[in-house]
Structure 1
Amino acid sequence: MSTTFRNLITNTVRLAAELALTAGFVLLLFAFYLLVWTGHRNAAVQADLLAEIRTTDSNGKIQLPAKPSNGDGVAIMHIPRFGDDWEQVIVEGTENEDLMKGPGHFKGTAMPGKKGNFAIAGHRATHGEPFAKVEEIEVGDEILVETNDEWLVYTVAWTQIVPPTAMSLLEPVPGYPGKKAKQRQMTIITCHPRWGSTERYVVGTQLTKRVAAEAGRPELKQPA
């Protein structure tokens, strides 16, 4: 084997090794961004939103905008199944920049406590992964939604895994296009499986109790 040929092989192997190391480093940085940095950034944004919203007035009511723009808070959600201290500000809009802040309200669907379908989307992985443990939610669980004037208790009625094309779940009566709403519902939609997006995991709830803000946070049934 000639010296020139050996040098060519050596240089080729060295270049391949350097490219592999570079690619590995880039992948490591990307994994850090997804798994750590997006969560850190989301926690900071949520803390700022909560601090702003919890600037209560003389009646002890929280402060949410009457006509929220994209990214503004529309309510505060509490899910006891995820822990006693779990809370997330639901923001207006479901564009990527909205969901980076927290769970997002589908524009055009009902607002919290109103007749129809209050539909929400949220990340299950990265960006704070608010719905990471969505599969732990059970029928009968209670979910609390805090607004300016009321505490709203929604009870889980069903869970379902559907294709991404199942847009009828955003209808006033989820799954029934054209049907007029008579009840007040909340639908939570997130990706399934957790680290994929081939399907959607959906939690359907019914409003079962409402308490005036001045009365204080109502006690919820503890998950079994």
Structure 2
Amino acid sequence: MGDREHTSRRERRERPRRRVSVLGVIGELLITVGVVALLFVAWQMWIGDVIIGGQKHAEADALSQSWMMPAATPSESASPAPVPTDAPAEAVVPVLAQPAHGEQFGVMFVPRFGTDWKFTIAAGTTRKDILDLGEIGHYADTAMPGQVGNTVYAAHRWTSGQPFDPIDKLVVGDAIVVQTAEGWYTYRFRTLEYVQDTQVDVLLPVPQQAGVEANGRYLTLTSCAPKLNMLERIIAYAVFDEFTPTADGPPAALTEGVTV
């Protein structure tokens, strides 16, 4: 009995211990880093976008509602209204002055994207202070809403609330509505196009028509295509349809073809 116990203890002493290799530690660390990276991507692409998108929708809705608050009633001493004439007055489309960089001046609605889809528009297209904050950026020196020429906008398709994620779902005739303090500018979608990131002629007064003077009102949306590819752009073109003053209330275009 004693000999067997002695032999058993000796075998345990002689059994080689498992060694933790440097490569094993590095492998486990890489696996951990990979899992963390996947969780971060999941957060960015789904959970984070849902949260940011909800916040931006609420912010856009608040700005939109603030412009629809009734104005103060003019006093009796105010100048009398002009006397109407038999000749119909030509419809005037008001145009805002170019805002300062980063200033919020509009809200965009696209009924095709759903009743909750609405995002604020800010002047400029820089990433850190505009696009990465979930806003739609307006290209500097392009036309303002309702102005003759080309009013051009950019936004992300993934992360930061992914405002332009559904851009490829647009159907010919869909309304793209830009609201400002003056009212609603309704444009109608015409076509999609994919271009290289160097093809900046989509920003011209008449898109892709160098040297041509604009005689119409156009709207252009730009974003990445596919979503994680920075070398190409998806472009959506639209043409002006009508202007609805704030005093007249929201246009019918806001509820046409709404996707719930």
TM-score range, shorter chain: 0.7 to 0.9
Give the share of equivalent positions with the same residue, in percent. Answer: 30
From the superposition, tell whether residues 193 and 88 of structure 1 become closer, same or farther in structure 2 (CA, over 3 Å): same
TM-score calculated relative to the size of structure 1:
0.85
Are residues 1:148 and 2:160 paired?
no
TM-score calculated relative to the size of structure 2:
0.74
Q: Which residue in 1 is equivalent to 2:28?
A: 18
Match of 1:194 among 218, 223, 227: 227
SS class of match (2:188): strand
What is the root-mean-square deviation in Å for CA atoms of aligned residues? 2.6
The answer for unaligned runs of 5 or more in structure 2 is 1-15, 73-95
For residue 47 of structure 1, report the CA deviation from its aligned partner: 3.1
The answer for unaligned runs of 5 or more in structure 1 is none
Moved over 6 A (4+): none
Partner amino acid, structure 2, of 1:11: S
Q: Which residue in 2 is equivalent to 1:99?
A: 131
Q: Partners in 1 of 2:56 and 2:171 — Cα distance? A: 29
Q: Which residue in 2 is equivalent to 1:112?
A: 145
Q: Summarize the alignment of residues 36-115 of structure 1 with structure 2, pairs less than 5 Å apart.
A: 36-37=47-48, 39-41=50-52, 43-45=54-56, 47-48=58-59, 50-52=61-63, 54-56=65-67, 57-59=69-71, 68-97=99-128, 98-101=130-133, 102-115=135-148
Question: Is 2:61–2:118's contact at 8 Å kept on the other side of the alignment?
Answer: no
From the superposition, tell whether residues 123 and 104 of structure 1 become closer, same or farther in structure 2 (CA, over 3 Å): same
Which moved further from structure 2: 147-156 or 23-32?
23-32
Q: Partners in 2 of 1:209 and 1:215 — Cα distance? A: 13
Larger radius of gyration: 2
For residue 45 of structure 1, report the CA deviation from its aligned partner: 4.9
Q: Partners in 2 of 1:51 and 1:119 — Cα distance? A: 24
Number of residue pairs matched?
216
Question: Is 1:160–1:202's contact at 8 Å kept on the other side of the alignment?
Answer: yes
